[in-house]
Amino acid sequence: MTVKVLIVDDSSFFRKRLAEIIATDPRLQVIATASNGEEAIREVQRHHPDVVTMDLEMPVMDGITAVRKIKAIRNTPVLMLSTWTTEGAKSTLDALEAGATDFLPKRFEDLSSDKVEAQRKLCQRIYQLSSGFHANHSDLSAANRIVKSQVSVPVKADKSSNTTPELVAIGTSTGGPVALQKVLTQLPANFPCPILLIQHMPATFTPSFAERLNTQCAIRVKQAENGEVLQAGTAYLAPGGQQMLLKGRPNHLYVSIEAGDANETYKPCVDLTFDSIANICGAKTLAVILTGMGSDGRNGCENIKKRTGTVWAQDQQSSTIYGMPMAVAKAGLADKILDINDIGRQLAELS
């Protein structure tokens, strides 16, 4: 099925350039363009696109307002195209809170120094966003009904499984900023253990994201620093463009922030962080996988489970993209499959 795309940007040059790039992928088709938010709303109502690419700053109606109004009319995935600056990061995070699904750099060279590869990544993200989003908001497949059945049958755990973990680690990608906000804002200031957060996000975005979460939450949230000793009641966000590994020993845990290998797909990578956790305190870790494309975190969860740690996964209904949590659930690694609001509530009960 061809993915129908609506391009929204106030620059006619950019609209034309983006349309030409999209035209190189036979799976995609530009069905309309718009120069501001008001036009975008009309085109969404007229053409029912599968994906909308949205600029942030436009005359008449800005992208954030347009996203909010579009989502009220039709549940269409919106891909924000923004500048990867501090101000761009703040505005993009506002757009995600308004209902945008994902974001990419407006300067496509930031995706890859190779022009062809950058264009391929852009087209692939648009296609994945459509297929993942619409699959997630349609009827469950037979395979996913099996996963869903794990949720519908209540299982009483013995008291030993309810002991407070020494560490909580949360991995997520597409839809993660809003999901993390929903989880972390439910936690009390005296949360009994440290939390590691691994969100697929560029380096210019993670400082602003950590600051935003810190103002919204009772717990302390900060971007992790190399060598930092972990403290209870604090959440440490992995810096974008780097890898965050756990070091030390139980009761004296700290993080190592490393460049990682050039060929690594994700920086930060959930699997790498979870693997380092498994080697040190896997049995006393609660790993949580939230919404996101792909399967990053599945192997790391497996290693934590091998060391008798606990794994929770977000359910399909509350996920923006049911990729990462589905990979964990289908592999039989999830001790619990929970709605995003229940994850925060049940974590709070650990206090």
> Does residue 80 surpass a pLDDT of 80?
yes
Active-site residues: which are they? Answer: 173, 200, 296
pLDDT for 134: 66
For the chain, domains (ranges, CATH) are 3-136 (3.40.50.2300), 157-348 (3.40.50.180)
Contact 229, 254 (CB under 8 A): yes
Higher-confidence position of 230 and 133 = 230
The arithmetic mean of pLDDT across residues 121-146, rounded, is: 72
pLDDT for 2: 95
pTM (whole model) above 0.85 = yes
Each residue of 295-336: pLDDT tens digit? Answer: 999 999 999 999 999 999 999 999 999 999 999 999 999 999
Mean pLDDT for all residues in the chain:
92
d(CA 257, CA 209): 18
d(CA 348, CA 210): 20
Indicate the pLDDT class of residue 131, thresholds 50, 70 and 90: confident
Residue 134 has a CB neighbour count (10 Å cut-off) of 16
Each residue of 145-179: pLDDT tens digit? Answer: 444 444 433 333 333 345 789 999 999 999 999 99
Contact 122, 111 (CB under 8 A): yes
pLDDT for 160: 39
Residue 322 has a CB neighbour count (10 Å cut-off) of 27
Q: Which two tokens stand for residue 23?
A: 């035209």
pLDDT for 155: 34
Q: Which of 304, 96, 270, 298 is nearest to 197 (CA)?
A: 270
Each residue of 170-228: pLDDT tens digit? Answer: 999 999 999 999 999 999 999 999 999 999 999 999 999 999 999 999 999 999 999 99
Each residue of 251-265: pLDDT tens digit? Answer: 899 999 999 888 888
